[in-house]
Amino acid sequence: MKKYSYILPFLLSLVLTGCGENTANSSSEMPDSSPVAQEVTASPETDAPTEPPTNAPLAEGDINSVTFDEVGTEIAAVINDDDTAVEGTLSIETIDGNNLLKFTDTSTTAENLETAVQKIRFNVGALLAPEQLSQVRSIAFDLYAEAKDNLFVNDDGDNMEVAGWIGGGGGSIVADGNWYGFADFSGSGLQEYNLKRSDACHVTFKFLLASSGKCWDETVEDVNFLVMRWGMQNISDIYIDNLTFFDEEGNSIPLTLSPVTDSEPEPHETDEISDSDPEIVENDETPEPATEEDEE
């Protein structure tokens, strides 16, 4: 009996060890009944439909803006006064129910694209009364460009019918009889590289030296200002809308419109206006009023 008393503790230790190992093994082999979060695989971005770019709504004007509902092409003229200025015609076109002034380019080609300049001169005397001229400190308008060729080449080497870069400048004869050049303008983020017609490029011309007489007053004859677009990357037309004049406080100036004729000017009349005064930008003297001796 003593012989077996020595063996029993040894057997008991073996049994306990075996149970411990089985418990560990059974625990690792038993399925985990706790909830498992389901892994969600996101759909590749390429599976989502890509919306094609579209034009933003046309820009809204000020209550005192020229919207070309009450005036027509008679307030403007195409200027073709040097080798870079291109020929064109003016018309009133409707886009999304809005009337805009359109400059249709008729002479820009692939050969002269890099140097071509589109010029439009606006007759301010048809829009403001003489006593309002000295109030003007800035001029604002919206400009759109619309491609009509595919000369623009994108980064992938593809020819695209898009407007491309939009930019230019302008100026006017001011009270001291000299030419005043406005700061250049340029647009970005206007869908000009994605769409045939760009979104609105908002342009502001400022008389920054008005305190030095670099502005308009009642002594200025034939008050006008010039809009120029250059740096074209594709043959395109331009539209202008929401022409507005502002005073030094930033308030828009009410328009005093001249009577509008019903008849549209003939193309040759536009050419005569463009060529009749080609040196307007170089005129340094304000014409003297006629005297009685001159009339005799």
Strands across the sheet with 179-186, in order?
76-78, 118-123, 224-229, 167-173, 179-186
Confidence tier at 42 by pLDDT (50, 70, 90): low
Q: Would you say residue 30 has pLDDT above 60?
A: no
Task: Enumerate the β-bridge partners of residue 169.
Answer: 228
Query: Do 242 and 140 form a contact (C-beta atoms < 8 A)?
Result: yes
Which of the four pLDDT bands, split at 50, 70 and 90, describes residue 283? Answer: very low
User: Is the pLDDT reported for residue 147 higher than 50?
Assistant: yes
Greater confidence (188 vs 282) lies with 188
> Among candidates 240, 157, 146, which has minimal Cα distance to 202?
240
Compare 24 and 236 and report the one with higher pLDDT.
Answer: 236
pLDDT digits (tens, 9 = 90+) for 88-146: 999 999 999 999 999 999 999 999 999 999 999 999 999 999 999 999 999 999 999 99
pTM here is: 0.72
- For residues 48 and 77, which has the higher predicted lDDT (pLDDT)? 77
pLDDT of residue 5: 52
Question: Residues 197, 146: contact at Cβ < 8 Å?
Answer: yes
Could you tell me which residues come within 8 angstroms of residue 145 by beta carbon, excluding any fewer than 6 positions away?
A: 163, 164, 166, 192, 197, 198, 201, 229, 236, 237, 238, 239
Domains by residue range for the chain, with CATH: 73-275 (2.60.120.260)
Enter the DSSP assignment of 258: P
